[in-house]
């Protein structure tokens, strides 16, 4: 199967966002940056695209102008093995953005993320009573707490 590459539209912050994201995730780097030339539509010499990888997954960021904005209808899920990972990603990605409920946050560029325990789907796919308790606990949280979710499942 050919790889699927997320393509992210920014107003003017594509390179800044790529640098921010690659500073957070392991095995990440900026692969290339292309610049607008005489043909535009952006200012000559300004960043057009930044290609980067986050833990090996390729992304492309475009400085396309203010016509389009991110919405929570599209988000990236980060599955964390430990509470320390949840804490680190939650704090770093939400800095300058907004912390929402149920593990969702919006970063300073307007992109939505879900910071969740790696085992969350397992907790929610048990019997209906367990799933109900876990979901009830989850709905009370902003940043997710693994111990609290596991206690609700027990």
Domain boundaries, given as residue ranges, for the chain: 7-63, 75-153
Give percent of the chain with pLDDT exceeding 90.
92
> What's the rounded Cα separation, in Å, for the pair 77 and 107?
13
Q: Could you say which architecture CATH assigns to the domain 75-153?
A: Roll (3.10)
Burial class (CB in 10 A: 0-12, 13-18, 19+), 129: exposed
- The fold for domain 7-63 equals 3.30.720
Q: Residue 1: how many CB atoms within 10 A of its CB? A: 3
The radius of gyration of the chain's CA atoms, rounded to the nearest angstrom, is 18
For residue 99, which phi and psi values (nearest 5 degrees)? Answer: -95, 125
**In this model, does residue 66 exceed pLDDT 90?**
yes
Lowest mean pLDDT among 5-9, 82-86, 114-118, 124-128: 124-128
């Amino acid at each position: 199967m050919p790889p699927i590459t997320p393509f992210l539209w920014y107003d003017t912050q594509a390179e800044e966002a790529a640098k921010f994201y690659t500073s957070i995730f392991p095995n990440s780097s900026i692969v290339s940056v292309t610049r607008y030339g005489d043909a535009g539509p952006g200012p000559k010499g300004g960043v057009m695209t930044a290609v980067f990888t986050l833990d090996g997954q390729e992304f492309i960021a475009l400085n396309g102008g203010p016509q389009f904005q991110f919405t929570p209808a599209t988000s990236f899920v980060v599955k964390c093995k430990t509470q320390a990972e949840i804490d680190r990603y939650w704090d770093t990605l939400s800095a300058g953005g907004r912390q929402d409920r149920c593990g969702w946050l919006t970063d300073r560029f307007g992109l939505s993320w879900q910071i969740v325990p790696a085992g969350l789907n397992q907790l929610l796919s048990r019997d209906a009573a367990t799933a109900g308790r876990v979901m009830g606990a989850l709905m009370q949280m902003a940043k997710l707490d693994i111990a609290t979710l596991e206690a609700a499942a027990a």
